[in-house]
Homo-oligomer: A and B are copies of this chain.
Amino acid sequence: MMAEDKMKLENQICFSLYATTREMTKLYRPLLADLDITYPQYLVLLALWDSSPLSVKELGGRLYLDSGTLTPMLKRMEKVGLIERYRSREDERKVLIGLTKEGRDAEQKAACIPDLLLENIDMNEEQILQLQHTLQRMLEGAREKGEGL
């Protein structure tokens, strides 16, 4: 690639990531409107449906988010009754996040979302798996490089 092209917006791999992520997130919005949650909140529920309760720390480890982002988001989710927050007995520093009945019930309502979303992507399973693999490699690489910052 020629030198000047490296400064073109459309050749920036990270701009493609940035723009695509936001556009894909918009596709989730109508699917999540039913549950009255945002996309990051949906990710929190996915993590909790897989395993709960989780401490804020553990949740942050899975979502790559810190308490500065999670604490206010979790308080909002608690207020609408999807989750509950309580201190761990064994270690009072930890705040555990558990699902309420409403939060557990939401899993059934959300079960169709992955398929509905895939309908909006004009890619076959092989292409998606390939993309997934590339992104995960990139993610791990970025986390290694970014460690000491």
Contact = CB atoms under 8 A, between A and B. Distances in A.
Interface of A: 1, 6-9, 11-30, 39, 43, 46-47, 49-50, 62-64, 107, 110-111, 114-115, 117, 120-123, 125, 127-128, 130-132, 134-139, 141-143, 145-146, 149
Contacts of A110: 7
A146 B26 contact: yes
A28, A128, A142 — most chain B CB neighbours (10 Å)? A142
A134 to B, nearest CB: 5
**A-B pairs with lowest CB-CB distance, top 5:** A23-B142, A16-B135, A6-B114, A17-B21, A20-B139
Given A12-B114, A50-B8, A30 B132 contact: no
